[in-house]
Amino acid sequence: MENRKSVDVIIIGFNEEKQIAKCLISVVNAIEILKSKTEYLTSVIYVDSHSTDNTVKIAEELGINVILAPTDYHTAANGRNCGLSHTKGTYVMFLDADMEIYPDWLVEGLHFLNTNPDAAGVGGIRNDRRLVGKNVKNINNYYSIKKEIELARGRIGGAFLFRRNALETVGGFESVLPVNEEVYLYCKLKEINLELYRIAHPMAIHWDCKINNRKEILKKFFFNKNLMISGLLLRKSIKSKSRFTILIFYYKEIIYYLLFIVLLLLFNSICFLKPDEKFNYANILLIFSYICFEIYLKKSPLRGFAAIMLNGLYLTYMLIGFVFEIPKVNFVRKKER
């Protein structure tokens, strides 16, 4: 019995009373299917970040073990690390409370990990959906897959199946990070030659919550915490060549924009110091080439121009995070109380 492999499903959430029941029921169903086809030992826990609604009550009524996350950091990473510390399974499946797991995902994901010893973790197809009135709308998402098997490169997205020993080797997630904790985890795994994969098998449904508040929409675009954290991660990783290289690749689109700005400033400086029509033409050609490049990437002129403006905004916030310390975000954990 002691030699049997085991899998823990860790769900994290905060104020998810509308979704938590569907999430937990889907997990219970997936575990029943896993037990009918394999001999894995299983456990399920829900880690709550001190919800103020009925989320915890609903989870407990369904017979799920509920753990309250430490209050040091109100982050997804903190919740996941808390779940890790309360479980001992050979494998760990993370899920957000606004998701539903597909019935046979655990069977497929565990089979992949057992047949691919170099894989530290595996994800599948995440289908993002939004309820508009009584209709369900499918949303294009960043976590799509184009091949049967491909490298995840940090695209975890809240739902992923890991080997516990891989997570423990790198110290789990960085609890202090409010965003981009998954990217940084990938960097740490890659440093010890471990890889994350994604396979073309349905894994989870993510119920997206549309932001209707105009203030929140403006805040999302004009105060982008994600990109500030990106800049901070780049700065903290400079001493690690491999980690810095991975982050540069991950944020390559914004790095392209930075190179374009540098070249543009260089040409304009030359034009100012030494006026010459040739440099003016080169300047125009550079701008035109970059516009065409973005249109090609986005497959649409409108999306291309939108990307140029957003990249400029994102680059600004990335540079802020790279140069300045971000309040309440550092790599020093608070002492245990």
Query: Which is nearest to 224 in space by CA: 235, 233, 216, 212?
Result: 216
Phi-psi domain of 183 (left: phi exceeds 0; alpha: psi -120 through 50; beta: other):
alpha
Task: Give pLDDT tens digits for 83-93.
Answer: 999 999 999 99
Cβ 124 vs Cβ 105: under 8 Å: yes
Tell me the sheet residues that pair with 128. 139, 206
Report, as an integer, the average pLDDT of 5-11.
95
Query: Which is nearest to 206 in space by CA: 141, 149, 293, 154?
Result: 141
The fraction of the chain above a pLDDT of 90, given in percent, is 41
Q: Find how far residue 64's CA is from the centre of its chain.
A: 26
Tokens, residue 87? 């479980």
pLDDT band at 17 (very low <50, low <70, confident <90, very high): very high
Report pTM.
Answer: 0.79
Name all domains of the chain by residue range, CATH numbers in brackets: 6-210 (3.90.550.10), 229-323 (no CATH)
Chain mean pLDDT for the chain: 82
Task: Give pLDDT tens digits for 155-192.
Answer: 788 899 999 999 999 999 988 888 788 888 988 898 88
Q: What is the C-alpha to C-alpha distance for residues 31 and 43, in angstroms, rounded to an integer?
A: 9
Task: Give pLDDT tens digits for 69-113.
Answer: 988 778 899 999 999 999 999 999 999 999 999 999 999 999 999
Buried b (16+ CB within 10 A) or exposed e, 250-259: bbeebbebee
Cβ 9 vs Cβ 42: under 8 Å: yes
Give the pLDDT of residue 336: 35
Q: What is the C-alpha to C-alpha distance for residues 81 and 49, in angstroms, rounded to an integer?
A: 12
Task: Give pLDDT tens digits for 214-247.
Answer: 565 556 655 666 667 778 777 877 777 777 777 7
Three-state SS sequence of 153-178: CCCCCCCEEEEHHHHHHCCCCCCCCC
Task: Give pLDDT tens digits for 53-68.
Answer: 999 999 999 999 999 9
Give the pLDDT of residue 101: 97
